[in-house]
């Protein structure tokens, strides 16, 4: 009985040490986050709709984009990793727009358009930007790390989620896969 206790104690300690090691290793080495595969159609959840304003004060709803593949990017001007992805998204917008694709940037800048507009001009961003808020972030599961990007299918369902800096090819593969799939009418 006593040896069984020792055995379980040893296993528990080893597992705890493994877990703690994983935790420390992840934080110290900051390996790239796991890739976000495109979910099968049956596993996709509806992307929450929202109403946000663009730089001209025009109300933009996610549902306006139904029938298109949408790359929904939560970002901010002060976010270095976001700055890496923005040129990719600009390229995707140019490359795939005619196939029914749109990038929609949700800026989480507290200072609003006075900060965003010069940045958009400088980076020559060619897709629509709307000003986000905490409520929008909460709708999408509490967006805290930026960038956080959702790739949404033609039915308005979330096909993949990318938290933090992701790979250009990863995004492009997801976009192409979704563009090749017609709308099914299964969006809620």
Partner 1 sequence: MRFKSCWILPLLATALSAQMAPTLKVESIPTIKATKGSAATVTVKASLPAGYHANSNKPTYSYLIPLTLKWTGGPLQTESITYPEGTTERYGFQAPTDKPLSVVTGEFSIVTKFKVPSDAASGPAAQTGTLRYQACDNHACYPPKTVPINVTVSVD
Binding site for partner 1 (CB under 8 A): 8-9, 12-13, 15-16, 18-20, 22-23, 26-28, 30, 32-33, 76-84, 108, 110, 115, 119, 144-148, 163-165
Residue 41 CB, shortest distance to partner 1, in Å, is 26
Q: Which is nearer to partner 1, 12 or 59 (CB)?
A: 12
By beta-carbon proximity to partner 1, the closer residue of 27 and 40 is 27
Taking the complex as a whole, the smallest distance from the CB of residue 61 to partner 1 amounts, in Å, to 24
The candidate with the shortest Cα–Cα distance to 33, out of 162, 158, 142, 145, is: 162
Shortest distance in whole angstroms from residue 154 CB to partner 1: 28
Query: Hey, is 151 helix, strand or coil?
Result: strand
Closer of 73 and 155 to partner 1 (Cβ) = 73
Closest approach of partner 1 to the CB of residue 65, in Å: 25
Using alpha carbons, list the distances in angstroms from residue 159 to 62, 103, 171. 15, 15, 11
> Judged by CB, which is closer to partner 1: 132, or 156?
132
Please say which residue, 9 or 61, places its beta carbon nearer to partner 1.
Answer: 9
**H/E run at residue 107:** strand 101-107
> Could you give the angle at which helices 168-179 and 80-96 cross, rounded to 10 degrees?
30
Q: How far is the CB of 82 from partner 1 (least distance, A)?
A: 7
Question: Each residue of 24-60: b (16+ CB within 10 Å) or e?
Answer: eeeeeeeeeeeebebbeeeebeebeebebeeeeeeeb
What is the phi/psi pair of residue 84, to 5°?
Answer: -75, -40
Within 10 angstroms of residue 175's Cβ, the number of other Cβ atoms is: 23
């Amino acid at each position: 009985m006593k040896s069984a206790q020792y055995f379980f104690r040893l296993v528990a300690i080893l597992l705890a040490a493994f877990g703690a090691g994983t935790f420390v290793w992840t934080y110290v080495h900051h390996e790239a986050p796991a890739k976000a595969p495109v979910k099968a159609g049956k596993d996709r959840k509806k992307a929450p709709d929202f109403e946000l304003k663009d730089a001209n004060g025009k109300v933009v709803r996610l549902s306006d984009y139904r029938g298109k593949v949408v790359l929904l990017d939560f970002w901010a001007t002060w976010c270095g990793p976001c700055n890496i992805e923005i040129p990719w998204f600009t390229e995707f917008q140019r490359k795939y727009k005619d196939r029914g694709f749109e990038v929609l940037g949700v800026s989480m800048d507290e200072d609003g358009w006075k900060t965003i507009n010069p940045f958009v001009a400088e980076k020559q961003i060619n897709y629509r930007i709307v000003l986000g808020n905490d409520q929008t972030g909460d709708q999408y599961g509490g967006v805290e790390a930026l960038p956080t990007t959702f790739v949404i299918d033609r039915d308005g369902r979330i096909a993949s989620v990318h938290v933090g800096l992701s790979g250009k090819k990863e995004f492009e593969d997801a976009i192409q896969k979704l563009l090749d799939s017609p709308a099914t009418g299964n969006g809620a």
